[in-house]
Chain A
Amino acid sequence: MSKGRFGEYGGQYAAETLMFALTELENAYREAQADPTFDLEFKTLLREYAGRPSLLYRAERMSADLGTQVFLKREDLNHTGAHKINNVLGQVLLARRMGKKRVIAETGAGQHGVATATAAALFGLSCDVFMGEEDTRRQALNVYRMELLGAKVHPVTTGTATLKDATSEALREWSRRVSDTYYVVGSVVGPHPYPEIVRDFQRVIGDEIRAEMLDKYNRLPTALFACVGGGSNAIGTFYPFIEDASVRMIGAEAGGEGVETGRHAASLTGGTIGVFHGMKSIFLQDDEGQIAPVYSISAGLDYPGIGPEHAHLHKTGRGEYYAVTDEEAIDAFEYLSRMEGIIPAIESAHAVALLRKMHAEFKPEDMVVVTLSGRGDKDVEAIGRYRGQIV
């Protein structure tokens, strides 16, 4: 088995042109890991620029409503409004260490693109973001934010013009400019070492949850909920708890119009093993490996695969993954807004919805943590449209 395996998943299924860059990246990352100043710099940026640690908010009204103690991990309060900034700050530090002058990124909902544009501005790097044309429409506000931050946004018109196509286009661009360009991958996907690097930069979410639960309540949570597209906020939440068998790790996949309709993006629920975007994992595809056109109201979860570590956690049963429909997510979006005065990203609303569906499994003394990966400002217009209102 090659490098970067999570059980049978993962690996390095990349074009020869990119292998040089992936090796260079891995070497640079290993050096950075061994260098205490790198970690110090990263932690300082997280604290002083991103605003960490994020709150672990005890949601009293929700707790009363659902009959169990609910905590919300407020990644939505980070600078740029989502967990994406954690990973981006780490990777851009790495890019600077490697002497790269230009960063590129793919983006779905635009949160990762905004975070990358932000960090590029902070470090004075040039930045190009690839975004499916369909998503540039769904998330027009984020396109403007990226441009405001000095990034160039390239609408991708190939395929389904969504996240998977933006990812393919970023890979193509990287292979053209491999020597001066750093590709900031936005989730725990792609060829090794990306799934490991992104996880390491996102594990701060779970580390903070763990420390705060132990500190304040002297116990670990009963369960963790997070939404999964590629799975970066989920792996960041779960990873520090993998060895704690008592802690349930529960991922909410994008069920779109319902898994039975075929119009969804729930890879683990409806997918099969394959090799795509540099990794062996679980994908929505046909019997000859053609990647399926997927659908979700959430541009951030609208991806036909999932990170290899999640595929492994799913296979071993350590992680649980269930599909949540658009309708359930929108209900949860409105529910959290009214119940707690917090408007979540539509992606994060999938995790809230899953807890609402499963709440009967938890007792009043249980403590469950839902990671709110991002804030919902970007989604207000689209949800309004879905509900038949022009915002």
Chain B
Amino acid sequence: MNTVNTKVNRIDASFAKLRSEGKKAFIPFITAGDPSIEASYLIAKAMIENGATLVEFGVPYSDPSADGPVIMRADERALANGTRLADVFSLSSRISTEFPFIPVVLLLYFNSIFVYGLEKFFTACEMSGISGVIIPDLPLEERDEARPAADAHGVYLISMVTPVSQERAKRILAQAQGFLYCVASLGVTGERSSYATDFKSYFDSLNEESDIPKCIGFGVSTPEQKKELEAYCDGVIVGSAIVRRIEDCIAEGISEEAIAARLGDFVHEFTEVHI
């Protein structure tokens, strides 16, 4: 049937380079299609030009049960303007072609993949230059359902681990690909002013198990938090704080180019890249 894909995944290449340079990853998240697919393209481009090392596109969903209100509203806006998977694939394709070293990762609920069809979905991912997918509602126990099709097309299934994963963390790490998405705290996505998690022991125990790059997300909203957290790991993921700024821009009624410029500036605060 399918042969094993032997191409080097951009995620691996990207983290190898970061580590060799002693740098950390900055991973911004936006909901694809919020406020339009063209805007998402412009925003992603601006974020990459301001130092994003990997781009995460959320596929809008009607009932995002792992997300907080900010991303829920972004999903509603994206769906209201008719965003479909075909649009997300074309967006990903444009970004991955224009930026050949930047990995593009999708975050989506399993139903979006399952109903579209696993083989069809991962074929489209490969064609669009998508390096990995994060599926918050596909835990370790259910991964086998998606793994063969993902493997056949060289698309990584990014695993999530949480502070309450405990003895599960070992098994999660054993099959993790690309990087490990470390959830900073319990609950859903959304900004937080502080954390109750003991990050040192959290990452110490993960590092003991595996050398795979580890990035932290859920609630990271300021450059100061980023600086504090990346000391423990290989990079940070910022979602709601970015999406909330897009929402503010929409409320102001500024142009898509202006939204992209503003988000580029915001990412710049985190990456401190001087262009």
The residues of A that contact B175 with a CB separation of less than 8 Å are none
CB–CB A16/B139 < 8 A: yes
Docked-complex contact B115 and A172, CB < 8 angstroms: no
Which parts of A1-23 form the interface with B (CB within 8 Å)?
Answer: 2-3, 11-17, 19-21, 23
Determine whether the beta carbon of B112 is less than 8 Å from that of A175: no
Task: Decide if B111 touches A289 in the complex (CB within 8 Å).
Answer: yes
Contact among A13, A14, A20 for B165, CB-based, below 8 A: A20
A19–B140 touching, CB < 8 Å: yes
Interface presence of A258 (CB below 8 A):
no
Binds B, one of A70-78, A243-251, A272-280, A380-388: A272-280
Choose, from B8-16, B64-72, B201-209, B245-253, the stretch at the interface.
Answer: B64-72
Q: Is B224 an interface residue, CB under 8 A from the partner?
A: no
Determine the chain A residues whose CB is within 8 A of the CB of B172 once the complex forms.
Answer: 16
Q: A13 to chain B: which residues have CB within 8 Å?
A: 110, 137-139, 142
**Contacting residues of chain A (257-281) with chain B, CB-CB under 8 angstroms:** 272-278, 280
Tell whether, in the assembled complex, residue B111 and residue A17 are in contact, meaning their CB atoms are under 8 Å apart.
no
Quick check: is B186 within 8 A (CB to CB) of the other chain?
yes
How far apart are the CA atoms of A21 and B72 in the complex, in Å? 24
Q: Cβ of B195 < 8 Å from any Cβ of A?
A: no
Contact with A176, one of B64, B166, B188 (Cβ below 8 angstroms):
B188
Task: Report whether B164 and A178 are in contact in the complex, using a CB–CB cutoff of 8 Å.
Answer: yes
B168 and A19 contacting across the interface, CB-CB below 8 Å: yes
Determine whether the beta carbon of A16 is less than 8 Å from that of B183: yes
Instruction: State whether B111 touches A275 (Cβ < 8 A).
Output: yes
Residue of A nearest to B140 (CB): A19
The answer to whether B188 touches A16, judged by C-beta atoms less than 8 angstroms apart, is no
Given the contacts A14-B139, A278-B137, A19 and B165 also touching, CB distance less than 8 Å? yes
**Does B124 lie at the interface of the complex (its beta carbon under 8 Å from any beta carbon of A)?**
no
Is there an interface contact between B62 and A159, defined as CB atoms closer than 8 Å? yes
Task: Assess the B187–A2 pair: CB atoms within 8 A.
Answer: no
A310 lies within 8 A of chain B by Cβ:
no
| Chain B, residue nearest A3 (CB) | B141
> Digit string of B39-54 for contact with A (CB within 8 Å is 1, else 0)?
0000000000000000
Q: Determine whether B148 belongs to the interface, using a CB cutoff of 8 Å to chain A.
A: no
Q: Is A179 an interface residue, CB under 8 A from the partner? A: yes
A16 x B165 contact (CB < 8 A) = yes
Chain A CB within 10 Å — which of B62, B64, B84, B164 has the most?
A: B62
Cα–Cα, bound, A2→B110 (Å): 15
Compute how far the CA of A280 lies from the CA of B112 in the bound complex, rounded to whole angstroms. 13
Q: Does A61 contact B (CB under 8 A)?
A: no
Is B114 at the interface (CB under 8 A from chain A)? yes
CB-contacts of B146-168 with A (<8 A) = 160-162, 164-166, 168
B61 at the interface (CB under 8 A from A): yes
Say yes or no for B101: interface residue by CB 8 A criterion: no
Of the residues B84, B111, B116, B164, contact of A276 by C-beta under 8 Å: B111
Q: Is A177 an interface residue (CB 8 A)?
A: yes
Taking the closest CB of chain A, its distance from the CB of B77, in whole angstroms, is 13
Q: Which residue of B63, B64, B116, B183 has the most chain A CB atoms within 10 A of its CB atom?
A: B63
By the criterion CB–CB under 8 Å, are A17 and B164 in contact? yes
Residues of B within 8 A of A178 (CB): 164, 186
Contact B63 A291 (CB under 8 A): yes
B212 CB-CB contact with A under 8 Å = no
Residue in chain B with minimal CB distance to A175: B187
- Nearest CB of chain A from residue B125's CB, rounded to whole Å: 15
Interface residue? B85 (CB, 8 A)? yes
B115 nearest in chain A by CB position: A289
Q: Is the CB of A175 within 8 A of B72?
A: no
Complex Cα distance, B172 from A164, in Å, reads 30
What's the Cα separation between A8 and B261 when bound, in Å? 48
- Tell me whether B65 and A19 are in contact (CB under 8 A): no
A2 and B141: CB pair below 8 A?
yes
Q: Which residues of A (151-192) have their CB < 8 Å from a CB of B?
A: 158-159, 164-165, 168, 171-172, 175-179
B79 sits at the interface (CB 8 A): yes
B223 contacts across to A, CB distance below 8 A: none
A372 to chain B, nearest CB (A): 31
* Interface membership of A288, Cβ < 8 A: yes
Q: Which residues of B contact A165 (CB under 8 A)?
A: 63
Does A285 make an interface contact (CB < 8 A)? Answer: yes
B141 to chain A, nearest CB (A): 4
CB distance from B218 to the nearest CB of A (A): 9
**Is A287 part of the contact surface with B, judged by Cβ < 8 Å?**
yes
- Which A residues touch B166, using CB under 8 A? 20
User: Nearest chain-B residue to A164 (Cβ)?
Assistant: B63
- A27 interfacial by beta-carbon distance below 8 Å: no
Q: Which of A81-132 contact B (CB under 8 A)?
A: none
Chain A interface (Cβ < 8 Å from any Cβ of B): 2-3, 11-17, 19-21, 23, 158-159, 164-165, 168, 171-172, 175-179, 272-278, 280, 283, 285, 287-291
Seed contacts A16-B183, A176-B188; 15 additional CB < 8 Å A-B pairs = A3-B141, A11-B142, A12-B139, A12-B141, A13-B139, A15-B65, A15-B137, A20-B162, A158-B72, A275-B114, A275-B137, A283-B111, A288-B116, A289-B112, A289-B114
Question: Which A-B residue pairs are the 6 nearest by beta carbons?
Answer: A289-B115, A176-B187, A289-B111, A290-B62, A168-B65, A20-B164
